[in-house]
Amino acid sequence: MSTRGTQTWPLRRDDGLPVVMGVVNVTPDSFSDGGEWFEPSAAIAHGLELVAQGADVVDVGGESTRPGAQRPSVQEELRRVLPVVEALAHDGVVVSVDTMRAEVAGQALRAGATIVNDVSGGLADDGMVALVARSGAPFVAMHWRGHSTDMQSRAVYDDVVTDVCAELAQRARVLVAAGVAADRIVLDPGFGFAKRAHHNWLLLRHLDRVLDLGHPVLVGTSRKTFLGRLGRADGEAPRPPAERDAATAATSVHAARLGAWGVRVHHVPSTLDALRATAAIDHATDSATEPATDHATDHATDGG
């Protein structure tokens, strides 16, 4: 199932799974794919591939937010993002624009994007909140404490779950007071942003408290470094990003079980397979009648 071309909000899948947001990084320095989709033609093709694989939304971003990343100019970010947004939207894809800049968000919305995904939650650009309020676009507001150049120095919490929830709740109140419709605000706990590994695991364990804030929640753990450290000894390098998709799928399943609205992932098939398998287990019954096609297929293909 795909929400492709859908304009109603909030987006929902008719199979009960969370919305799957596929990532297209139009950057030369992303932590995950390192420029693989930097050329517009490659980025457009990849976006269409993600949709064919089952993504409901394609999230297009032109600024790397990995720790230590330097920001591109506004003009460069626009050059990277706009052709991709326009082409995908023209093909009926539901597009979100991943940007912290009001100018980029505004031009992307005019080019056909329908969602603004701002990792700063509107804190990085004074014009972002007013733009979103005027446009009526759904707004993903992530928990954020500063730009990539120094964000990890800000990973200091009394209690990470309490603090993140309080800061997200305050941000949502500010957005509503500025005219953003409450039902168009999506909250993102900001895994990997001003968070150490143990902070991320605690936020996942207590994700229900973020959901209790009353807004749809987007979970973006995909290929983050803390997943790459699983099974690694102290001091050992984490697995490369492309080898973190199984762990990403596991965290997506966890988020789905708790009721997250969406998951943002780089590799759509592995996450969808994990979500569908879990849903099949949850909905299995002890009915005396097996579907004939399933029975025949199982006997035809299973074996040692």
- Is 224 among the residues known to form the active site? yes
Q: Which two tokens stand for residue 260?
A: 């997250």
Q: Cα(77)–Cα(60) distance, rounded to whole angstroms?
A: 11
Q: Which of 80, 184, 195, 224 is catalytic?
A: 224
Tokens of 242: 């492309």
Alpha helices in the chain (DSSP H): 40-52, 74-90, 102-111, 128-135, 160-177, 197-205, 207-211, 225-228, 245-258, 268-283, 292-301
The partner residues of 218 in beta bridges, in order of sequence, read 262
What is the distance between the alpha carbons of residues 203 and 162, in angstroms, rounded to a whole number?
9
The Cα 94–Cα 115 span in angstroms is 8
Which of these, 281, 303, 279, 271, lies nearest to 55 by C-alpha position? 271
Told to judge if 173 belongs to the known catalytic residues of this protein, a careful annotator would answer no
**Upstream peptide bond of 10 is cis (omega within 30 degrees of 0):** yes
Helix (H, G, I), strand (E, B) or coil at 201: helix
Q: Show which residues are catalytic.
A: 224, 264
